[in-house]
Amino acid sequence: MLESVPTTYDLSEAIPRRASPVRLDDPPPYPISPRPPAAPSVLPKRRPAKTGKLRLRRRRATSRGHRTGRTQSTQEVREDFDRIAGLSREGGWDHNSHYHPLLLRQLPLRLHEALEVGCGTGAFVRSLAGRSERVLAVDLSPRMVEVARARSKGYTNVEYAVADANSWPFPEGRFDCVASITALHHLPLAPTLRKMGDALRPGGPLLVLDLYKARSPADYLVGALGFPASKAIRLARTGAMSGPRQPPELRRAWEEHYATDRFPTLAEVREACAEAGLRGARVRRRLLWRYSLVWRKPMR
Ligand SMILES: C[S@@+](CC[C@H](N)C(=O)[O-])C[C@H]1O[C@@H](n2cnc3c(N)ncnc32)[C@H](O)[C@@H]1O
Pocket of ligand 1 (CB under 6 A): 74, 77, 81, 96, 118-120, 123-124, 138-141, 144, 164-166, 181-183, 186-187
Atom of ligand 1 nearest to the CA of 209: 8
For the four alpha carbons of 139, 144, 150 and 154, in that order, the dihedral sign comes to negative
Q: Give percent above pLDDT 70 in the chain.
A: 77
- Regarding predicted confidence, which is higher, 10 or 189? 189
Average of per-residue pLDDT across 141-151: 97
Q: Is the pLDDT of residue 66 over 70?
A: no
Which CATH entry fits the domain spanning 97-215+244-296: 1.10.10.10, 3.40.50.150, 2.40.160.60, 3.20.20.70?
3.40.50.150
Atom of ligand 1 nearest to the CA of 166: 19
Q: Is the pLDDT of residue 225 over 70?
A: yes
Task: For a ligand 1 pocket test, name from 87, 124, 141, 195 the mutation site with the most ligand atoms within 8 angstroms of its C-beta.
Answer: 141
Q: What is the model's pLDDT at position 160? A: 98
> Rounded to 5 degrees, what are φ and ψ at 46?
-70, 150
pLDDT digits (tens, 9 = 90+) for 86-128: 898 887 899 999 999 999 999 999 999 999 999 999 999 999 9
Atom of ligand 1 nearest to the CA of 168: 20
pLDDT band at 221 (very low <50, low <70, confident <90, very high): very high
What is the CA(264)–ligand 1 centre distance, in A? Answer: 16
Q: What is the model's pLDDT at position 58? A: 45
Pairing of strands 282-285, 290-296: antiparallel
Average of per-residue pLDDT across 195-207: 98
Q: Domain-by-domain residue ranges, the chain?
A: 97-215+244-296
What is the CA(183)–ligand 1 centre distance, in A? Answer: 4
